[in-house]
Amino acid sequence: MVLNILKGYKMTFKTAFKDVEVTRTFPEFMMELPANERGIHELDATVCIGCGSCARICPNNCIEMVPFKYGNPLKNKKMVFPSIDFGRCMFCGLCVDECPVSCLKMGKNVVMAGWLRDDLILGPDKISVKRHTPQEVAALEEEARRLAAEKKKAAAAKAKAGDKKPAGAKKKKEEAGGES
């Protein structure tokens, strides 16, 4: 009986002198996180197209699309980017899976303590890891304007060339409406 009880202590002694890492003194020592870790989001603002599919899939409605200056106006016409409320986020990663251009990722940073509730709402300026400089944005905007003007011109030209057809269709419709 006593021997059997002592047998239990064998384990205690075996582990007492072994180097077992159990408690880490966070934040001085951070544990090693795997490459797949789902931490705070990282946004590539140069790629984001502002489609808002991340905001739609979010089960907790914690993503809001907000305006942000340093994106690519060629791709992101409205210049809106995700802003994430980490007070509600449960790090499920559905937004990352849903992103059609893979601009949203989840990184290894998991520290997000703050003093205020608003500190937990991280906008695109906080979560974007890649963004355009103001000069690049200006150049891209210029490009966007030029393209828009070209498109307008082309559309106008097209409208002139195909003037008869749509007008004819419209007339027919009007006639039909009048008859009925």
Q: Which residue has the tokens 């007339």?
A: 171
At 174, list the tokens.
């009007």
DSSP 27: T
87 is an interface residue for another protein by CB under 8 A: no
161 is an interface residue for another protein by CB under 8 A: no
Contacts of residue 66, Cβ cutoff 8 Å, sequence gap at least 6: 80, 81, 82, 83, 123, 124
Q: Which range of residues in 11-19, 69-77, 120-128, 145-153 is near another protein by CB under 8 A?
A: 11-19
Pairing label, strands 128-130, 104-106 = unpaired
At 137, list the tokens.
């944005």
Which residues between 25 and 44 bind another protein (CB under 8 A)? 33-38
Among residues 24, 29, 30, 59, which is the contact residue for another protein, using CB under 8 A? Answer: 59
113 is an interface residue for another protein by CB under 8 A: no
Among residues 47, 51, 66, 94, which is the contact residue for another protein, using CB under 8 A? Answer: 94
CB 81 within 8 A of CB 124: yes
16 is an interface residue for another protein by CB under 8 A: no
Q: Classify 123 as helix, strand or coil.
A: coil
92 is an interface residue for another protein by CB under 8 A: yes
4 is an interface residue for another protein by CB under 8 A: yes
Contact residues: another protein, CB under 8 A: 1, 4-9, 11-12, 15, 20, 22, 33-38, 57, 59, 90-94, 97, 106
